[in-house]
A and B are shown apart, each in its own frame.
Chain A
Amino acid sequence: MKKDNTLISINGLSKFYGQKHAIEDVSFTVHRGEILGLLGPNGAGKSTTMQIICGVIAANSGSVNIAGHDIIDAPKQAKQNIGFLPEQLPLYGDLTVDEYLFYSAKLRGIKKQSLNDQIISCKRRCGLENTGTRLIQNLSKGYKQRVGIAQAIIHMPPIIILDEPTSGLDPKQILEIRELMRELSKDHSIIISTHILSEVEAICDRVLVINEGNIVLDQYLKELLAGDNSLESVFLHLTGGSS
């Protein structure tokens, strides 16, 4: 591993869908303990970038290095270090919460001895203590979201990647999820994507704006907001909206 605290380094990532450029020459790094907010209008390439980092889809060019492992050359070691929550929750409605967490824990290769402890502590962190025996399809949207986050952190990965973790939740649930993310950031690096600007201001250390497949801004939030700028005006200016 590199001496500096770089957990993810991404170099010159490009991805085409047919003729269409989804992302083009995207490069950035994420450091240990950082919360990175990925911002951008719909269709800008946020989800594509996240899926490439997690190895769900492969890039046409460029490289992704996770905690010293290349996602293409050493996918198993690299994926061990990541927890991913896709935009569409990857849940089996016909399993109970316990069965599902058990399965996702084993998929991530957690050893038998620590399996039960991990599941219990993970459920406590996500506020799922009393839902263990319920079927996932009977849970409310907010609780499903928590189960989704729980599967992403169950193996205590150094990196957590969350694609729109608060979409479709009510304000109270959003606050709870934010609280959870702040809690998680103590010992994990987090990348979240969102279109809610206030969310970025509330929890992120660093902002990355993607527009039409290119990175147009990569800056620490403190520096960005040091002047008279508001995040909203910067965002609209960069993505071509009127401000």
Chain B
Amino acid sequence: MINNIILIAGNELRRFFKSTLAWIILAIIQFLVAIFFYVPLVMYLQPASTASGLTDAVVSTMYGFAAYIILIMSPLLTMRLISEERQLGTIRLLFSSPISITEIVLGKFLGITIFYLLILLMITLMPLSLLFGTQLDLGQIASSLVGLFLLMTSVASIGLFLSSLTSSPAMAAISTFGTILFLLIIKIGGTNSSSEVALVFSYLSIDKHYNNFLSGLFNSVDIFYYIILTVFFIILCIWRLDSERTYG
């Protein structure tokens, strides 16, 4: 079971790094996040700055923007996961091999998660470089890292599921983008937070829970929100591929 999952994940990563897309996305994310690291840092260093602390003013701001950049880029990372296997016909190689659909889906998920971890590692090097000159609230950084990682796994599983619905990567990318955008803007329904319905809307929003992590707040509710989202879409993906075999 584990061997097969690692095998699929390994092949996914190998093919990912053979395409220029992976490298370009890594470079673009790094460049954009660097801007949101550099600008708050320069502002913090101004004599007139009134910011309370370096970690809050620079590091949390950076992770806050990094999340949006990753949410925008994410559909391009996940679009080809399963749709391309179908387009190439290699899905038949997987289906006719002695591995289960659960192993295929978990392997794909593990592969893309490792890639997200790499992104996380690359952008975290920037705030960590501040340690050469000053002290940081490492607890708050750890909390942001956990939050961003959970956010990544949930968008990865959304992308994985939507990629299993089609044989066209472009279609998968657009629908993933739409879903993520929907989960972002759903909080608008919660702006008038006096009514209970509005509270539900704001609760469902994908970035509301992330903001708690950024401020160093480690709520089990927030963790469960992302884990439930991730597991839900992984199960949907397994069901989808299973029903494709039965009815397709």
- Answer yes or no: do A and B interact: yes
Name A79-121 residues within 8 Å CB distance of B.
79-80, 82, 84, 86, 88-95, 99, 103-104, 106-109
A55 interface residue (CB < 8 Å to B): yes
CB contact between B248 and one of A57, A89, A103, A108 (< 8 Å): that residue? A57
Interface flags for A62-85 (1: CB within 8 Å of B; 0: not) read: 000000000000011101101010
Binds A, one of B67-75, B89-97, B183-191: B89-97
A185 within 8 A of partner (CB): no
Q: What 10 A-B pairs are tightest by C-beta distance, nearest first?
A: A88-B89, A90-B93, A84-B96, A79-B98, A107-B97, A54-B96, A76-B98, A56-B95, A86-B92, A90-B90
Given A75-B100, A84-B93; 20 other pairs, CB 8 A cutoff: A54-B95, A55-B95, A56-B92, A57-B248, A58-B246, A76-B100, A79-B96, A84-B96, A86-B96, A88-B89, A90-B90, A92-B15, A92-B88, A94-B15, A99-B14, A104-B93, A104-B97, A107-B4, A107-B7, A107-B94
Can you sample 23 A-B contacts with CB below 8 Å? A51-B92, A54-B92, A54-B95, A55-B96, A58-B245, A75-B98, A76-B98, A77-B98, A79-B96, A79-B98, A80-B98, A82-B96, A86-B89, A86-B96, A89-B89, A90-B91, A91-B90, A94-B18, A95-B18, A103-B7, A104-B97, A108-B97, A108-B98
* Complex-state Cα separation, A88 to B246, whole angstroms: 20
* B193 interfacial by beta-carbon distance below 8 Å: no
CB-contact partner of B11 in A75, A89, A103, A108, under 8 A: A103
Interface membership of chain A positions 203-216, coded 1 if the CB is closer than 8 angstroms to chain B and 0 otherwise: 00000000000000
A151 touches B (CB below 8 Å): yes
Which B residues lie within 8 Å of A82 (CB)? Answer: 96
Q: CB within 8 Å of A: which of B58-96?
A: 88-96
Q: Which residues of A contact B129 (CB under 8 A)?
A: none
Give the interface centre of B89, B98, B246, B248 by most chain A CB atoms within 10 Å: B98
- Which partner residue on chain A sits nearest B243 by CB separation? A58
Cα of A57 to Cα of B98 in the assembled complex, Å? 14
Residues of A close to B18: CB separation below 8 A: 94-95
Chain A window 162-180, contacts with chain B (Cβ cutoff 8 Å), 1 for yes, 0 for no: 0000000000000000000
Per-position binary interface string of chain A over residues 33-61, scored 1 when its CB falls under 8 Å from any chain B CB and 0 otherwise: 00000000000000000010011111000
Residues of B within 8 A of A (CB): 4, 7, 11, 14-15, 18-19, 88-100, 245-246, 248
Q: A107 and B99: CB pair below 8 A?
A: yes
**CA A82 – CA B96 in complex, angstroms?**
8
Closest to A59 in B: B246
B245 with A151: CB separation less than 8 A: no
Chain B, Cβ-Cβ closest to A87: B89
Residues of A contacting B90 in the complex (Cβ-Cβ under 8 angstroms): 90-92
**Whole-angstrom CA separation of A103 from B3 in the bound complex:** 12
Task: Kindly report which residue of chain B lies nearest to residue A57, judged by CB atoms.
Answer: B245
Whether B15 contacts A95 by the Cβ 8 Å rule is yes
A193 to chain B, nearest CB (A): 14
Residue of B nearest to A151 (CB): B93
Contacts of A89 in B (CB 8 A): 89
| Smallest CB separation, B3 vs chain A (Å) | 8
Q: Which residues of A contact B246 (CB under 8 A)?
A: 57-58
Which residue from chain B places its CB closest to the CB of A76 in the assembled complex? B98
Which residues of chain B have C-beta atoms less than 8 A from A57's C-beta?
A: 95, 245-246, 248
Complex Cα distance A30/B58, Å?
A: 70
- Give the complex CA separation of A141 and B246 in angstroms: 32
Nearest-CB residue, chain B, relative to A82: B96
Measured CB to CB, the closest approach of chain A to B94, in angstroms, equals 7
B97 touches A56 (CB 8 A): no
Shortest Cβ distance from A161 into B: residue: B96
